Amino acid sequence: MVLLTELFVAALLGLLIYRAYRFATDRPSPNFPPGPPRLPLLGGYPFLLALDYRHLHQAAARLSQLYRSKLVGLYLGPLPAVIVNDYDTVREVLQRSDFDGRPDLFMARLRDEHFQRRGFFFTDGDSWRDQRKFFLKTLHQFGFGRRSPEAEADIQSGLEELISLLRDGPAFEHERELVDPATGFALCPTVFFALYSNVVLRMLIGARLGREDQGVLFEVGKNSIAFHRGGDDYGMVLSYIPWIRHLFPKASGYELLREVNKKANAVVLSLAQKVESSYDENDMRCFIDAYIKEIRSGKTGGVSTGKDTFGFEYDQLVIGCADFLVPPLSAIPAMMCLILERLIQHPEVPEKMYRELTEVVGTSRLPTLDDRASLPYCEAVIREGLRLDTLVPSGIPHVAVKDTQLAGYQIPKGTVIVNSLDYIHHQQEIFRDPDSFNPERFLNSDGQLALDLDKSVPFGAGKRVCAGEQFARNGLFLAITSLVQNFTFQLPPGQGGPDLSQRATGVIRTTPDFRLKFVSRR
């Protein structure tokens, strides 16, 4: 009897070991890219954390080295995934409709009050296509995604307000946090939160906020940057085992992310309600007016379906507007700070920009988009900043919408595809001396901008290209050139230069908050 018991236990143990081995070595397809084993609950995600928990895109690069493969296959929790560390293959993924899906991540769901899939960044299917078409077409009418005199005038007004604040100091109570009245040092990136968001706000609600009323934009911007810093570019543990939020609400990041999204959404909802209170179906003043018209003409009256499919509903209006408002609130200001750190690190660059600006624009007015073609070096600086310090290092993940192939591998339907944008922007075969800050790489022998030399894709490409690319490029050009035209940059005493090691990678790459003095050139 004892012998039978021992044999049974040994057989059971052997079976468990066999099952554990099969689980760990399971591959989603017979010809799947090589990668780390699968662990319970989290899949291969812990290996990324172990390699570099602060910068997962760098951990992904390490995996490519370890497995000697440009494509790395692994599980992210229960989801099969492929990390692409190759320029040509990333471009292929971005252009092929086979990979136009988005993963269903809890980090995206927690943005909605009822944890439903809403907005644009993390949705797909017919609902996404219909809503995306309406949002882009309607916002285009109000100046988004195209060269718009109104939008450019709004940015110019914002820049005049910003320059006044930086040069003359705070004029309103909320500005005292932005610029120290005693020392003149500005808090970055917070000081830039209203610059771009106020432009999009006019498109959404029909009016931009005056300088005295912009405090709300800075408060929402704080929540927005907290979300960007609090997440990570692979969805966090929360996305793979959502129930962990009940056990560790703070440690899992859930409490912070949920709270900052609630605050931001509450502001968007209050703005929408204010617009609706004076709604006139014969006077479409702004995007929200147009969306409310669709809600009122529909059958649901804007009430949520309670499902992941969605139409013209108030919850989609809130998350959709947030998707267009959040990048101008904090992502573009974060990119500004990444570029400013490079300019401080390379003081010869802003001086060369200033000489070009003085020759072309002078000092009596701010640069405009009409000056852009005559400012090739300034434009090259912006492009080099976007390449070298890719704002979204791993892009926003795609999903294979059907069984397909990629680079000779079999990719099953539902596989998450992570495009390592930062990796390909530092790929030696594509960019010579890729780790150096060298704006001249985008200029020809005559010193003119050569767009064919810029192979970077910081905003993605294809149908999933960032809808705000043109807005961001235009805004960064106008802001950086205006700041260089009017100021030199001075760090606090005793700080020799930017400490790039303090940068963090969350949903986007960010600098820590830092103080910078904008010293007037006049």
Residue-wise pLDDT tens digits, 429-478: 999 999 999 999 999 999 999 999 999 999 999 989 999 999 999 999 99
Q: What's the one-letter identity of residue 320?
A: G
Please report the domains of the chain, with CATH numbers, ordered by start residue. 1-100+396-418 (3.30.43.20), 118-392+427-520 (1.10.630.10)
Q: How confident is the model at residue 5 (pLDDT cuts 50, 70, 90)?
A: confident
Q: Which helix (H) or strand (E) holds 226?
A: helix 215-230
Q: Are 302 and 314 in contact (CB under 8 A)?
A: yes
Of 50-59, 225-234, 430-439, the poorest mean pLDDT is in 225-234
In this predicted structure, the answer to whether residue 235 has a pLDDT above a threshold of 90 is no
In this predicted structure, the answer to whether residue 2 has a pLDDT above a threshold of 70 is no
Residue-wise pLDDT tens digits, 237-282: 999 999 999 999 999 999 999 998 999 999 999 999 999 999 999 9
Alpha-carbon distance of 320 to 120, in angstroms, equals 6
Q: How confident is the model at residue 89 (pLDDT cuts 50, 70, 90)?
A: very high
- 10 Å Cβ neighbour count for 446? 7
Reported as half-sphere exposure (CB side, CA atoms, 13 A), residue 153 has a value of 9
In this predicted structure, the answer to whether residue 58 has a pLDDT above a threshold of 90 is yes
Q: Given this model, what pLDDT does residue 497 score?
A: 86
CA distances from 67 to 70, 92, 104, 213, 252 (A): 9, 22, 28, 54, 30
- 10 Å Cβ neighbour count for 97? 11
Alpha-carbon distance of 372 to 502, in angstroms, equals 33
Q: Given this model, what pLDDT does residue 302 score?
A: 66
What is the 8-class DSSP label of residue 492? P
The 3 state secondary structure assigned to 454-466 is CCCCCCCCHHHCC
Residues near 317 by beta carbon (within 8 Å), at least 6 away in sequence? 272, 288, 291, 295, 302
- 10 Å Cβ neighbour count for 127? 18
- Considering only the C-alpha atoms of the chain, give the largest distance between any 2 of them, rounded to a whole number of Å: 99
Q: Given this model, what pLDDT does residue 482 score?
A: 98
CA distances from 418 to 12, 63, 82, 493 (A): 39, 13, 6, 42
- From first CA to last CA, the distance across the chain in angstroms is 96
Tokens encoding 373: 């073609």
Query: How far from the centroid of its chain's Cα atoms is residue 417's Cα?
Result: 17
Alpha-carbon distance of 162 to 366, in angstroms, equals 12
Alpha-carbon distance of 382 to 385, in angstroms, equals 5
Q: Given this model, what pLDDT does residue 18 score?
A: 65
Alpha-carbon distance of 96 to 107, in angstroms, equals 26
Q: What's the one-letter identity of residue 316?
A: Q
Alpha-carbon distance of 188 to 446, in angstroms, equals 36
Mean pLDDT of 154-175: 96
Q: Does the annotation flag 188 for ligand binding?
A: no
Q: How confident is the model at residue 301 (pLDDT cuts 50, 70, 90)?
A: low
Of 13-17, 86-90, 103-107, 430-434, the poorest mean pLDDT is in 13-17
Q: Given this model, what pLDDT does residue 458 score?
A: 96
Alpha-carbon distance of 304 to 316, in angstroms, equals 8
Alpha-carbon distance of 38 to 78, in angstroms, equals 9
Q: Given this model, what pLDDT does residue 4 score?
A: 66
Residue-wise pLDDT tens digits, 170-222: 999 999 999 999 999 999 999 999 999 999 999 999 999 999 999 999 999 99
Quote the percentage of the chain above a pLDDT of 70.
97
What is the 8-class DSSP label of residue 370? G
String of b and e for 113-126 (b: at least 16 CB within 10 Å)? beebbbbbbbbbee
Residue, of 2 and 118, whose pLDDT is higher:
118
Q: Are 127 and 311 in contact (CB under 8 A)?
A: yes
Which residue bears the tokens 């390490």? 62
Count H helices and E strands in the chain, helices first.
Answer: 19, 11
DSSP 172-212: SGGGGTTB-TTT-EEEETGGGHHHHHHHHHHHHHS-PPPGG
In this predicted structure, the answer to whether residue 481 has a pLDDT above a threshold of 90 is yes
Cα-based angle 183, 186, 190 (whole degrees, multiple of 5): 150
For strands 509-510 and 504-505, give the pairing: antiparallel
